[in-house]
Structure 1
């Protein structure tokens, strides 16, 4: 399989054409989404620990 043929298969998925700029934009968006999810999870865990600490301290 030649390199040119492989590049054409990567560029065309079905009937849609993928441009390198669009792929970079999508990966950046997914990267930011991943960090947002991690930040939300850390926030939720910290709130939970704060709640448990408060309940154990008060009662």
Structure 2
């Protein structure tokens, strides 16, 4: 039980010591230059919304009868 309280006190002290720091401003002295990508373009594929065709229709009818 005391170990748990000690850990909580340590955490509280660490949080009091921590000071939030701001991120440095980015360097805008050089203009940004766009470069073409070397990756190939994505080929679109149409989604298949229709149900898959049953390969063994006999099994389909057996399960429907039950």
TM more than 0.5:
no
Give me the TM-score of the superposition, normalised by structure 2.
0.29
Q: Max radius of gyration: which structure?
A: 2
Greater relative contact order (CA < 8 Å, ≥ 6 in sequence): 1
Going by fraction, where is helix more abundant, 1 or 2?
Answer: 1
Give me the TM-score of the superposition, normalised by structure 1.
0.32
